[in-house]
Amino acid sequence: MRYPSGRHFLQIPGPTNVPDRVLRAIDRPTIDHRGPEFGRLGREVLSEIRHIFKTRNPVIIYPASGTGAWEAALVNTLSPGDRVLMFETGHFATLWHRMATRLGLQAEFVPGDWRHGVDPALMEAKLAEDKARSIKAVCVVHNETSTGVTSRIGEIRKAIDRTGHPALFMVDTISSLASIDYRMDEWGVDVTVAGSQKGLMLPPGLSFNAVSEKALAASRHARLPKSFWGWAEMLEANKTGYFPYTPATNLLYGLREAIAMLLEEGLENVFARHNRHAEATRRAVRAWGLELLCLNPAEYSSSLTAVLVPEGHNADELRRVILEAFDMSLGSGLGKLQGKVFRIGHLGSFNDLMLAGTLSGVEMGLELAGVPHRKGGVQAALDYLAQEAASQARPAARSAA
């Protein structure tokens, strides 16, 4: 491998690049997590993070990975033997289902092909069949990190409402929060699960449960065992900005800075930026003559793009070539997609020139690895990005005149 001068290109769909502002915020002396300075930090972060979820409800922050937030969502709201409806949209939906089963829940797993999101009509049909209203919760992954497929949460909420079913609605936003439009309150989500290491632009180490009043009411009767994950103690301590156990103090400094950056840019602008980079990436993939894993354009992810390699070629070998030749990491295929796809992350702290470098590395890697493709993918993406930049410049020029 060549000496890796310059910066490593981390183009997996999380953990993502951590911007310098966030790194500098984290790089502060650790303070007393029982002292007054920490109380001010806690109150500020716990209040401001609600804007990112688009909720007025409490957001609970754990020193944990997203897997911990999955468990917290389940154990705080459900009891042993409760029925839960889950959907096989990819590797992470599969892992969440496995966890629910291990916790002693009756978790029905609706089969999927890993190339589509949750079908709102199927959700409606499944809930309509439940005449006894025995299903206590439905769990959906908003953006499947393993597939680059996004489920339509607003439409799913409407499908649930048409049945009048009282099940709790839980949504995993680990790779969509702060990258893809998400509206917890408007879409009637009861528990939102999230993590720090993707759209929030932080290192791994924080996870989140945003909880509705309905979910809090359910938690008062839930009988699954919990201690570390318990909402009640967390919410009581959070009233004054503190935590019932040692929090990830320096990551909270980083979270405060990340929230500030997102709100300065404006969430709608953040979503538009992600949409633009995703479309540019898809244009490159099509120009290469390769196939997108996601089949429904309405479900294209703006966080990442999963690309199928041609039959007879191995995506992990392509990734190895790109890493060794160009010092760039791409996401691997997970579960039954191992060796069949590579994933290009384009979320978090990311801009047009970083995308251009990423796609250049992929195009050169395809050539080096001997993967059949057409040239011109990078140019197709650049043409689109230049066109978008020009269209944005025209209104600014008119207003200045």
The pLDDT value given to residue 397: 61
Residues 236 and 163 reside in one and the same domain: yes
Q: Per this entry, what is the length of the chain?
A: 401
Q: Look over the chain and give the mean of its residue pLDDT values, rounded to a whole number.
A: 97
Do 250 and 26 touch, CB atoms closer than 8 A? yes
Residues 279 and 171 reside in one and the same domain: no
Do 45 and 195 touch, CB atoms closer than 8 A? no
Is residue 318, in this structure, part of any structural domain at all? yes
pLDDT band at 392 (very low <50, low <70, confident <90, very high): confident
pLDDT band at 59 (very low <50, low <70, confident <90, very high): very high
Q: Which stretches of 101-176 are assigned E, i.e. beta strand?
A: 106-110, 135-141, 143-144, 149-150, 168-172
Residues 75 and 183 reside in one and the same domain: yes
Q: Residue 1: is its pLDDT beyond 70?
A: no
Residues 365 and 222 reside in one and the same domain: no
Residues 123 and 170 reside in one and the same domain: yes
Residues 190 and 307 reside in one and the same domain: no
pLDDT band at 235 (very low <50, low <70, confident <90, very high): very high
- Amino acid symbol at 45: V
Is residue 401, in this structure, part of any structural domain at all? no
Residues 147 and 296 reside in one and the same domain: no
The pLDDT value given to residue 395: 72
Percent over 70 (pLDDT), the chain? 98
Residues 227 and 323 reside in one and the same domain: no
The pLDDT value given to residue 400: 61
* Full-model pTM: 0.96
* Average pLDDT of the residues in 271-288: 98
Q: What is the CA 214 to chain-centroid distance, rounded? A: 24
Residues 272 and 148 reside in one and the same domain: no
Of 192, 30, 325, which Cα lies nearest the Cα of 317?
Answer: 325
- Answer with the one of 208, 243, 263 that is the final residue of a domain: 263
Is residue 1, in this structure, part of any structural domain at all? no
* Average pLDDT of the residues in 272-277: 98
The pLDDT value given to residue 394: 75
28 is annotated as contributing to ligand binding: no
The pLDDT value given to residue 399: 63
CATH of the domain at 301: 3.90.1150.10
> What domain range includes position 31?
20-263
CA–CA distance, 263 with 199 (Å, rounded to integer): 13
Residues 243 and 119 reside in one and the same domain: yes
Is residue 293, in this structure, part of any structural domain at all? yes
